[in-house]
Structure 1
Amino acid sequence: MDKLREMEVFVAIVDRGSFTGASDKLGLSAPAVSRAVHSLESRLGTHLLARTTRSVRPTDAGMAYLEACRKVLDTITDAEANIAADPLHPVGTLTVSAPVLFGQRYVAPLVDAFLLRYPDVSVNAVYIDRTTRLLEEGVDIAIRIGHLGDSSAFAIPLGSVRRRTYAAPSYLAAYGEPLHPKELTQHHCVSFTGVSAPLEWVFNDNGSRLCVRLQPRMIVDLGAAAVLAAVDGVGIIQLLSYQAAPEVDDGRLQPVLTSFEPESTPVNLLHVERRSTSGKIRAFVEHATDTLRKNAHLQGVDAMATRASR
């Protein structure tokens, strides 16, 4: 086995956390993976991996060598991608992930437009309300809402959203509008677990964090169902601003307690650094960035103000 292949095996073991995972990723037999590591360690004269019955992790020498391997392999990958990639005619399969409701409302339409524009690209769209791990799960592009802690990926800012409190006009007509978050204890509330803790909502009161304990009339873990409950007048709800944008636009929901909103939450597009020269990824990043940065609901533009200016 040549040196580059041995490097690939070593990196795959670290990324997947096991010899079996590396074997599956590279399509090699388990003995071939073991031989590659043995050959590599023998040539270097040091142990690169610390193995137990339950885990595999790089030694100190392995960590240093891992970075060198990544640089070598990434240089080769980038060189091949630059030669093969045609940014005007990208090809291949692209895996894109996004939160469920955000994906339904904003990502799905731009994916459709992307596929119509580039007929030689296929997309595997994964809409899921958890943080996907790009390298481990084979995700090329991820739309992430929230503050980032993933240093292995490039992040491209798309805008921001806010955690806002909403109610249907019918609810407000029947029960009145709360003027302070503490008044929510006297109201019916719907807690969407994807945004708020079920029994405690967070607000900003003159720069200080204000937590309000509630006894919700309804607790729901599905975004679409939460929005529907609020529209139907079941109770007041906290949502991220994009989640209620269409309903605010058409008047079925309206913001309340706006002077107590917490700080905005960033929205970013993430892609893995070593894949950045891929033609399909480059084309999708440009397409998605251009589309989502034009979305008023991600740029701090109030929907009611937008409607009034039309």
Structure 2
Amino acid sequence: MKRKIDLLKAITTFIKVADKKSFTAVARELNIVTSAISRQVADLEKHFSCQLLYRTTRAMHLTAEGKQYYKEFKEITEKIEHLENKDEGLDGSLKGHITVSAPQGSESLGFLDAASEFMKKNPEVTVSWLFVNRYVNMVEEGIDLSIRMGELEDSSYIARRYKSVDINFVASPSYIKKYDEPKNPNDLTKHLCITDSSNRHPNKWRYCENKKEKFIKITSYTDSNNGETAARLAANGNGIAYLPSFFTHSYLSTGELVPVMQAYEFESLPASLVYPANLMMNKTLKAFVQFLLSYED
């Protein structure tokens, strides 16, 4: 009795291996171990009782049967992609559902206004929002589009630069009057620091000196897993905070917060629209991303 396998997944993996002629390259693209790729191809060969690939330590190529199956598999996957991408209504309008994740408090970047306009123009498109201050595994959590801050390391995703975000050292005028203003990062060890515990390293603050990235270890006086709360605590005079500008801009504009140690700030960090490469085949998502990038307040 043949072991049950995910046939479509195995077929898709085999096509990628045949195209790239490398298990390792496909494993890197899909962000899984090479042995898992090899197992999927082996399962496919066992399922169809044939050898699809000749594999040696130096080369890999399709067998005669492999060439025939490759052609037919491509036709199957193209038909499935066509069916999955039928996301246009009878009148040519877009339809479908998009799930978006973003950091809490980042609404001020303007994407909610842009999304609202997009939905008005495309009433058959629905959008769900997940606002969290943690790393989101897009595949496992079913996220189509993620708004992320800073430089991105994961090459299995596509990132389109959307906006820029400043990261500010801030304190209230009343705090500075009582404790004086820190002149350099080393002074922070003598101050009350407010940390955002949702960050991966909340007690390790990043700064720029002589155009080089450096870090200072601080002791948290009070913390919150919500940047908006941290900003409010700073505005109330509880200490110094280091936060993205979308948390602090309203307090800076009213004077409740003022910037400190500006000479040690980095240039703006990118805020990017991030999505798995294979999802760009989805016409609705593609149109949504393009609308966000081109939208002007």
Amino acid across the alignment from 2:187: E
In structure 2, what is the equivalent of residue 273 of structure 1? Answer: 277
Give the secondary-structure state (helix, strand or coil) at the position aligned to 2:220.
Answer: coil
SS of 1:227 mapped into structure 2: helix
Distance 1:183 1:281 in 2: 47
Q: Find the counterpart in structure 1 of residue 36 from structure 2.
A: none
Which amino acid is the alignment partner of residue 179 of structure 1? K
Structure 1 residue 192 and structure 2 residue 196: aligned? yes
Rounded Cα–Cα distance in structure 2 between residues aligned with 1:70 and 1:258: 58
Contact kept? 2:12, 2:77, Cα under 8 Å:
no
Structure-1 residue corresponding to 2:166: 162
Q: 2:49 aligns with which of 28, 31, 42?
A: 42
Residue 123 of structure 1 corresponds to which residue in structure 2?
127
Question: 1: distance between equivalents of 2:169 and 2:114?
Answer: 28
5+ residue gaps, structure 1, are 18-32, 49-59, 296-310
Asked whether the 8 Å contact 1:188–1:236 carries over to 2, the reply is yes
TM-score when normalising by structure 1:
0.68
| 1:20 counterpart residue number | none
- Taking a change above 3 Å as real, the CA distance of residues 127 and 247 of structure 1, as seen in their structure-2 partners, is same
Looking at secondary structure, tell me which structure has more helix per residue. 1
Distance in 1 between the 2:177 and 2:256 partners?
13
Structure-to-structure mapping, 1:51-62, within 5 angstroms = none
Distance, in Å, in 2 between the alignment partners of 1:73 and 1:170 is 68
Secondary structure of the corresponding residue to residue 291 of structure 2? helix
Q: Helix, strand or coil for the counterpart of 1:139?
A: coil
Q: Match for 1:89 among 86, 89, 93?
A: 93
* Count of equivalent residues: 259
CA displacement 1:121-157 (0-9 Å, x = unmatched)? 1112122223333334332211111222232332211
1:217-255 Cα deviation digits (max 9, x unpaired): 212222221111111111110012222122222322221
State the identity %.
Answer: 24
5+ residue gaps in structure 2? 1-5, 15-26, 33-39
Deviation, 1:73, is 7.0
Q: Distance in 1 between matches of 2:74 and 2:159?
A: 20
TM-score (norm 2): 0.70
> Which of 253, 256, 269 is 1:252 aligned to?
256
Q: Secondary structure at the match of 1:276?
A: helix
Aligned to 1:6: 7
1:150 and 2:157 correspond: no
Q: CA RMSD in A?
A: 4.0
Equivalent residue, structure 1, for 2:246: 242
Residue 54 of structure 1: aligned partner:
none
**Residues 71 and 10 from structure 1, CA distance in 2 versus in 1: closer, same or farther, beyond 3 angstroms?**
closer
For residues 148 and 247 of structure 2, the distance between their equivalents in structure 1, rounded to whole angstroms, comes to 14
